[in-house]
């Protein structure tokens, strides 16, 4: 507790700034301050690829049965309604929700999502409900980008999704956003591929993070984490979305939940959603001064 309270005195806008300014090297909860003076808590990864990664969001599947129902903040809590093409719109607004310590038990988004000017992105795939101190070791996959791609799109995901709106009927399958190569910190191409159903594996190439992929029904998804779509059934391996996202029914070979995550999650029976129940923790590294 004293360590966390001591960190309250740090004045920084990102974990990278805390690392550079104060020399802090320990992973854990830190306090950051936005450009407008708002103070908030988040998790800092001070070791991956030089450290200084700021947790800005987590995407959590609260109910494998629900489809765009209460709790699905990264798609729509108002149902699959094409008349609400943006869904809840949380990929490109300043709404925040959740607590950092509960980021593997609920959706999470903090002010750093729109405030930090960043250059790269990191993702950890963590099984649901793991406590924060075990996120690193519990992660099934950990990877990051090294292309400084966020500089091209306003420095964060908030601005990137202004360039590539997550909105129903915004385009066709060929109108996806950027696909950025990743560097693995834990896992590899094959372990990424085998997280998904056998038919889904023919629809993507592993080793990328892809933004704003659109399926053959013109429904947009937000992030294809770890993969680049090569087909038009992205709803089976991409996350988030706007309105009108029609998910495949339970079909063997398509559903990622058909995969038995033996060492990480109990086998799941009768899955009826294409979205993985694995937590995805999204971090950004601030741009160099």
**Of residues 278 and 71, more confidently modeled:** 71
**Of residues 173 and 72, more confidently modeled:** 173
Predicted local confidence at residue 261, as pLDDT: 30
Burial-class residue 263 by CB neighbours within 10 Å (0-12, 13-18, 19+).
exposed
Predicted local confidence at residue 284, as pLDDT: 79
Residue 130 in this model has a pLDDT that exceeds 50: yes
Predicted local confidence at residue 80, as pLDDT: 55
First to last CA, the chain: 32
Encode pLDDT of 95-104 as tens digits: 999 999 988 8
Burial-class residue 249 by CB neighbours within 10 Å (0-12, 13-18, 19+).
exposed
The residues, ordered by sequence, that sit 6+ positions from 51 with a Cβ below 8 Å of its Cβ are: 15, 16, 19, 25, 45
Percent of the chain with pLDDT over 90: 54
Average pLDDT, the chain: 80
What's the rounded Cα separation, in Å, for the pair 250 and 255? 7
The lowest-confidence range among 34-38, 172-176, 209-213, 256-260 is 256-260
Residue 189 in this model has a pLDDT that exceeds 60: yes
Confirm if 85 and 5 have CB atoms less than 8 A apart.
no
What's the rounded Cα separation, in Å, for the pair 188 and 206? 9
Predicted local confidence at residue 62, as pLDDT: 53
Predicted local confidence at residue 197, as pLDDT: 79
Angle at CA of residue 94, ends 54 and 90, nearest 5°: 90
Predicted local confidence at residue 73, as pLDDT: 59
Predicted local confidence at residue 38, as pLDDT: 96
Q: Taking residues 32-59, what's their average pLDDT? A: 94
Question: What is the DSSP track for the chain?
Answer: -HHHHHHTT---SSHHHHHHHH-----EEEEEE-TTS-EEEEEEE-SGGGS-EEEEEEE--S-SS-SS-TT-TTS-SS-S-TTSTTTT-TTSS---BS-GGGTTTS-EE-THHHH--EEEEEEEEE-TT--GGGHHHH-SEEEE--S-GGGGGTTSHHHHHHHS---TTS--TT----EEE-EEEE--HHHHHTTS-TTGGGGEEEEEEEES-B-TTS-B-SEEEEEEESSS-GGGT-B---TT-PPP-S-TTT-GGGS--TTTS----S---SS--SEEEEEEEEPP-
Residue 217's pLDDT band, with cuts at 50, 70 and 90, is confident
């Amino acid at each position: 507790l004293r360590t966390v309270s001591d960190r309250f005195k740090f004045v920084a806008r990102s974990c990278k700034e805390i690392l550079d300014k104060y020399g802090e090297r320990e992973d854990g909860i830190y306090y950051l301050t936005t450009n407008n003076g708002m103070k908030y808590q988040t998790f800092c990864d001070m070791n991956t690829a030089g450290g200084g990664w700021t947790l800005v969001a987590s995407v959590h599947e609260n109910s494998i049965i629900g489809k765009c129902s209460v709790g699905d903040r990264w798609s729509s809590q108002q149902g699959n309604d094409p008349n609400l093409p943006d869904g809840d719109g949380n990929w490109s607004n300043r709404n925040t929700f959740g607590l950092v310590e509960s980021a593997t038990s609920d959706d999470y988004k903090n002010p750093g999502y729109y405030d930090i000017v960043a250059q790269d992105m990191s993702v950890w795939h963590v099984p649901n409900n793991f406590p924060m101190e075990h996120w690193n070791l519990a992660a099934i996959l950990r990877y990051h980008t090294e292309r400084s791609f966020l500089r091209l799109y306003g420095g964060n995901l908030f601005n990137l999704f202004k360039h590539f709106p997550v909105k129903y009927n915004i385009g066709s399958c060929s109108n996806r956003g950027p696909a950025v190569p990743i560097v693995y910190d834990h896992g590899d191409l094959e372990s990424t591929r085998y997280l998904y159903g056998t038919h889904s594996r023919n629809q993507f190439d592993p080793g990328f993070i892809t933004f704003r992929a659109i399926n053959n029904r013109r429904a947009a998804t937000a992030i294809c984490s770890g993969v680049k779509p090569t087909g038009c059934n992205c709803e089976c391996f991409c996350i988030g979305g706007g309105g009108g996202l029609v998910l495949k029914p339970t079909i063997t070979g398509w559903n990622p939940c058909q995969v038995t995550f033996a060492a990480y999650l109990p086998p799941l029976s009768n899955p009826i959603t294409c979205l993985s129940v694995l937590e995805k923790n999204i971090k950004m590294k601030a741009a160099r001064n």
